[in-house]
Amino acid sequence: RKEVEQDPGPFNVPEGATVAFNCTYSNSASQSFFWYRQDCRKEPKLLMSVYSSGNEDGRFTAQLNRASQYISLLIRDSKLSDSATYLCVVNSGRRALTFGSGTRLQVQP
Protein backbone atom coordinates (compact mmCIF):
# COMPACT_ATOMS: atom_id res chain seq x y z
CA ARG A 1 0.00 0.00 0.00
CA LYS A 2 1.31 3.46 -0.89
CA GLU A 3 2.22 5.69 2.06
CA VAL A 4 -0.01 8.48 0.79
CA GLU A 5 -2.65 7.81 -1.83
CA GLN A 6 -4.66 10.31 -3.87
CA ASP A 7 -6.99 10.17 -6.85
CA PRO A 8 -4.89 11.69 -9.67
CA GLY A 9 -7.89 13.29 -11.38
CA PRO A 10 -8.13 15.46 -13.35
CA PHE A 11 -11.13 17.13 -11.79
CA ASN A 12 -12.66 19.45 -14.36
CA VAL A 13 -15.13 21.84 -12.72
CA PRO A 14 -16.83 25.09 -13.73
CA GLU A 15 -16.06 28.34 -11.97
CA GLY A 16 -18.07 28.68 -8.78
CA ALA A 17 -18.32 24.94 -8.18
CA THR A 18 -17.45 23.17 -4.95
CA VAL A 19 -14.90 20.39 -5.27
CA ALA A 20 -13.54 17.90 -2.76
CA PHE A 21 -10.31 15.92 -2.77
CA ASN A 22 -9.55 12.91 -0.63
CA CYS A 23 -6.38 11.28 0.52
CA THR A 24 -5.53 8.20 2.58
CA TYR A 25 -2.32 7.45 4.42
CA SER A 26 -0.95 4.13 5.58
CA ASN A 27 1.07 4.95 8.70
CA SER A 28 -1.20 5.21 11.73
CA ALA A 29 1.66 6.88 13.66
CA SER A 30 1.60 9.90 11.32
CA GLN A 31 1.60 13.13 13.25
CA SER A 32 1.22 16.11 10.93
CA PHE A 33 -0.81 16.60 7.81
CA PHE A 34 -0.82 19.24 5.12
CA TRP A 35 -2.22 20.22 1.77
CA TYR A 36 0.22 21.75 -0.65
CA ARG A 37 -0.51 23.29 -4.00
CA GLN A 38 1.80 22.88 -7.00
CA ASP A 39 1.51 24.80 -10.23
CA CYS A 40 3.01 23.32 -13.39
CA ARG A 41 6.81 23.11 -13.14
CA LYS A 42 6.84 25.15 -9.92
CA GLU A 43 7.65 24.34 -6.32
CA PRO A 44 5.06 22.97 -3.89
CA LYS A 45 3.55 25.72 -1.76
CA LEU A 46 1.91 25.15 1.60
CA LEU A 47 -1.82 25.68 1.33
CA MET A 48 -2.84 24.69 4.83
CA SER A 49 -2.14 22.41 7.72
CA VAL A 50 -4.81 19.87 8.65
CA TYR A 51 -5.98 19.46 12.23
CA SER A 52 -8.12 16.79 13.85
CA SER A 53 -10.83 19.31 14.65
CA GLY A 54 -10.99 20.42 11.02
CA ASN A 55 -9.91 23.86 9.90
CA GLU A 56 -10.95 26.47 7.41
CA ASP A 57 -9.09 29.19 5.55
CA GLY A 58 -11.40 31.29 3.43
CA ARG A 59 -12.83 29.07 0.70
CA PHE A 60 -10.72 26.08 1.77
CA THR A 61 -11.71 23.53 4.43
CA ALA A 62 -9.53 20.62 5.52
CA GLN A 63 -10.61 17.62 7.57
CA LEU A 64 -8.69 14.79 9.18
CA ASN A 65 -10.13 11.45 10.25
CA ARG A 66 -7.44 9.60 12.20
CA ALA A 67 -9.53 6.48 12.71
CA SER A 68 -9.97 6.04 8.96
CA GLN A 69 -6.55 7.53 8.12
CA TYR A 70 -8.24 9.89 5.72
CA ILE A 71 -7.71 13.56 4.87
CA SER A 72 -9.91 15.79 2.77
CA LEU A 73 -9.80 19.22 1.17
CA LEU A 74 -12.92 21.11 0.15
CA ILE A 75 -12.74 24.14 -2.14
CA ARG A 76 -15.84 26.30 -2.36
CA ASP A 77 -16.63 28.83 -5.09
CA SER A 78 -13.77 27.63 -7.34
CA LYS A 79 -11.79 30.29 -9.19
CA LEU A 80 -9.80 29.92 -12.40
CA SER A 81 -6.70 30.60 -10.31
CA ASP A 82 -7.39 27.46 -8.23
CA SER A 83 -6.32 25.34 -11.21
CA ALA A 84 -3.28 23.42 -9.99
CA THR A 85 -2.22 20.07 -8.56
CA TYR A 86 -3.12 19.56 -4.90
CA LEU A 87 -0.67 17.46 -2.91
CA CYS A 88 -1.61 15.58 0.23
CA VAL A 89 1.41 15.54 2.52
CA VAL A 90 2.02 13.56 5.69
CA ASN A 91 4.70 13.65 8.35
CA SER A 92 4.97 10.06 9.47
CA GLY A 93 7.60 10.73 12.09
CA ARG A 94 10.43 9.73 9.79
CA ARG A 95 11.66 13.33 10.03
CA ALA A 96 10.62 14.03 6.48
CA LEU A 97 7.36 14.82 4.75
CA THR A 98 5.91 12.21 2.42
CA PHE A 99 4.02 13.47 -0.61
CA GLY A 100 1.09 11.94 -2.43
CA SER A 101 1.14 11.95 -6.22
CA GLY A 102 -1.32 14.83 -6.33
CA THR A 103 -4.79 15.52 -7.64
CA ARG A 104 -5.04 17.78 -10.65
CA LEU A 105 -7.78 20.42 -10.66
CA GLN A 106 -8.82 22.34 -13.75
CA VAL A 107 -11.37 25.10 -13.21
CA GLN A 108 -13.10 26.10 -16.42
CA PRO A 109 -14.77 29.41 -17.30
Partner 1 sequence: EPEVTQTPSHQVTQMGQEVILRCVPISNHLYFYWYRQILGQKVEFLVSFYNNEISEKSEIFDDQFSVERPDGSNFTLKIRSTKLEDSAMYFCASSADLVGGYTFGSGTRLTVV
Q: Give the Cα separation of 1 and 69 in Å (integer).
A: 13
Quote the CA–CA distance of 102 and 36 in Å, as a whole number: 9
Q: Does 80 bind partner 1 (CB under 8 A)?
A: no
Q: For the segment 18-57, give every residue that binds partner 1 (CB under 8 A).
A: 31-32, 34, 36, 38, 41-46, 49
Q: Which of residues 2-21 bind partner 1 (CB under 8 A)?
A: none
Tell me if 87 contacts partner 1 by CB under 8 A: yes
Q: Pick from 19, 102, 105, 107: which binds partner 1 (CB under 8 A)?
A: 102
> Do residues 89 and 30 touch, judged by C-beta distance below 8 A?
no
Binding segment for partner 1 among 21-29, 57-65, 69-77, 93-101 (CB under 8 A)?
Answer: 93-101
Q: Does 91 bind partner 1 (CB under 8 A)?
A: yes
Q: What is the rounded CA–CA span in Å between residue 68 and residue 54?
A: 15
One-letter identity of residue 86? Y
